[in-house]
A and B are shown apart, each in its own frame.
Chain A
Amino acid sequence: MNRLPLMILVGLLLVGGGVVAGVWYYFTPKYTRVGYQPLQPVAFSHKVHVDQLGLDCRYCHHDVERAWFSNIPASSTCMNCHNQVLKDDPRLALVRESVATGRPIPWVQVHKVPDYVYFNHAVHVNRGVSCVECHGRVDQMDEVYHAKPLSMAFCLDCHRDPASFLRPLDKVTDLAWRWSVDPAEHARQQRTQGRWLMEHWRVESLQNCSACHR
């Protein structure tokens, strides 16, 4: 019996399957973006400043609830403390130089949606969507990395069902916050309270294209 056709078939299936699996696995923002961790000009650590010192995100990213854009703090913000703390530390040389000359620190942007997408921080933050949903546990990162894919599917997962993500407004910047330490209880509370918050704030489930592409 001639086994050649069978072997060709198996070979084609393997190659085809391999290519499909490779594209499925690699050609997605879950692979291309997640984990992107650029080298920053100053070794600034969110873990030290947020987790250890307990600073609120809005101390530095103060525009996040007022504008579409979440600002990176000016170097003078760092000097609020670092004019006394680690005053002559070489790790902060660039910050001091930037304050003296007015030249901004060239931080490398990590999260960046394409220019054809309209995004808005204030809308989300003032509707009880926490930073952690889109940026991961920044408070545990020594260097910021891209933790979530921020693809269209990712945005829509939440826009189809915001109730499973909403939380009280004063907990938005508390990234470790849960309704309850017990996961089952957390899920139950999230379902009931999330639905209540959604009705209370009249949150819409925005899925039309013009919400994000305008």
Chain B
Amino acid sequence: MRYFLLIYALVVGIVVAIAGCRGSLSRKPPIEVFPDMDRQLKLRPQQPNGFFPNGISSQPPVPGTIRRSLPIQTLSGPVYPFEDAPVNTGRWPGVTNFVELNPLAVSGALLRRGQERFGIYCAPCHGPAGDGNGVTRKLGMAVVANLHDPRIVEMPDGEIFHVISHGRNLMQGYAAQIPVEDRWAIVAYVRVLQRSWLGSLEDLPLHLRQSLERQP
């Protein structure tokens, strides 16, 4: 019996020593005992795949591909994402002039959406107030535009849309990350930020102005 207990303790000790405990970090992939149903012959996004010559399963769409989608509701009626219209390009059709005004109906909901999206996609560099003092400024990004620069305040809405979509100089485009409607929502919110920067005390409604004036 003594020998049995000794061997038993030894086996338990060895198993625990080899297998460790739950939750310990490991570089080894999880064991799949019967992987045949777990891993089926199907495409998963962003996985390597030998079928295509470049070995990628998420193939970039063929040039000219039109995604199935709902039209975008603009002030001048519904527009499909493939049409050459101001809402998709920021320019008047056929010419290179930027549109002056946001083609979407600017509402409170759009501005709130723009505020949220600006916080996600622009604030890291341009800062939450758009003054170019985002976190990355201190960590090595020397040139970040101040969105309150008079040149940018005077830019047409379409040009800001174009900068978001395709980038400019050191800023890269965000067309892949941000859908068209959200880009216009951000443009509208950038206008809000600029307005708040340029505004004077007289612009505030009376009760807000009084509460500000009461402060020393």
A54, B124: Cβ atoms under 8 Å?
yes
**Interface pick from A11-19, A180-188, A189-197, A198-206:** A11-19
Smallest CB separation, B129 vs chain A (Å): 15
What is the bound-complex CA distance between A203 and B15, given in angstroms? 45
Contact with A along B169-206 (1 / 0, CB 8 A): 01110001111000000000000000000000000000
A158 at the interface (CB under 8 A from B): no
**Interface pick from A22-30, A126-134, A160-168:** A22-30
Q: Using a Cβ–Cβ cut-off of 8 Å, how many residues does chain A contribute to the interface with B?
A: 51
Selected from B4, B135, B176, the residue in CB contact (under 8 A) with A74 is: B176
B140, A37: Cβ atoms under 8 Å?
no
B96 at the interface (CB under 8 A from A): no
Smallest CB separation, A212 vs chain B (Å): 14
A59, B23: Cβ atoms under 8 Å?
no
Selected from B25, B32, B120, B170, the residue in CB contact (under 8 A) with A37 is: B25
B8, A14: Cβ atoms under 8 Å?
yes
B208 at the interface (CB under 8 A from A): no
Which residues B1-34 have CB closer than 8 A to chain A? 1, 4, 8, 11-12, 15, 19, 22-32
Q: Chain A's interface: helix, strand, loop or mixed, by majority? A: loop
Known pairs A36-B29, A37-B27; A116 contacts B40 (CB<8 A): yes
Known pairs A55-B124, A85-B141; A145 contacts B136 (CB<8 A): no
A71 at the interface (CB under 8 A from B): yes
Q: Give chain A residues whose Cβ lies under 8 Å from the Cβ of B24.
A: 35
Known pairs A14-B8, A33-B30, A36-B29; A80 contacts B172 (CB<8 A): yes
Q: Give chain B residues whose Cβ lies under 8 Å from the Cβ of A26.
A: 19
The CB with the most chain A CB atoms within 10 A, among B27, B136, B177, B179, is that of: B177
A170, B116: Cβ atoms under 8 Å?
yes
B119, A56: Cβ atoms under 8 Å?
yes
Known pairs A56-B120, A59-B121, A86-B140; A39 contacts B22 (CB<8 A): no
Task: Return the chain B residue nearest A29 by Cβ.
Answer: B30
Which residues A44-94 have CB closer than 8 A to chain B? 52-56, 58-59, 62, 66, 69, 71-72, 74, 76-77, 79-81, 83-86
Task: Return the chain B residue nearest A59 by Cβ.
Answer: B120
A72, B46: Cβ atoms under 8 Å?
yes
B85 at the interface (CB under 8 A from A): no
B139, A115: Cβ atoms under 8 Å?
no
What is the bound-complex CA distance between A58 and B28, given in angstroms? 29
A58, B45: Cβ atoms under 8 Å?
no
Q: Give chain B residues whose Cβ lies under 8 Å from the Cβ of A54.
A: 124, 135
A41 at the interface (CB under 8 A from B): no
Known pairs A35-B24, A116-B38; A85 contacts B124 (CB<8 A): no
B39 at the interface (CB under 8 A from A): yes
Selected from A55, A66, A104, the residue in CB contact (under 8 A) with B56 is: A104
Task: Return the chain B residue nearest A74 by Cβ.
Answer: B176
Smallest CB separation, A135 vs chain B (Å): 15
Known pairs A115-B42, A116-B37, A170-B116; A32 contacts B140 (CB<8 A): no
Q: Give chain B residues whose Cβ lies under 8 Å from the Cβ of A109.
A: 47
Task: Return the chain A residue nearest B176 by Cβ.
Answer: A74
A36, B30: Cβ atoms under 8 Å?
yes
What is the bound-complex CA distance between A25 and B106, given in angstroms? 58
Known A29-B30, A77-B177, A79-B172; further 20 A-B contacts with Cβ < 8 A? A11-B1, A26-B19, A34-B23, A35-B23, A35-B26, A36-B28, A36-B30, A38-B27, A56-B119, A59-B177, A62-B177, A66-B179, A71-B45, A72-B46, A76-B172, A81-B141, A83-B170, A84-B136, A85-B139, A116-B38
17 A-B Cβ contacts within 8 A? Answer: A11-B4, A18-B11, A30-B23, A35-B25, A37-B27, A39-B27, A66-B179, A69-B46, A71-B46, A81-B124, A84-B170, A104-B46, A114-B32, A114-B38, A115-B40, A115-B44, A170-B116
Closest 10 CB pairs of A and B: A114-B38, A85-B140, A115-B40, A56-B120, A62-B177, A33-B30, A32-B30, A84-B141, A31-B22, A35-B25
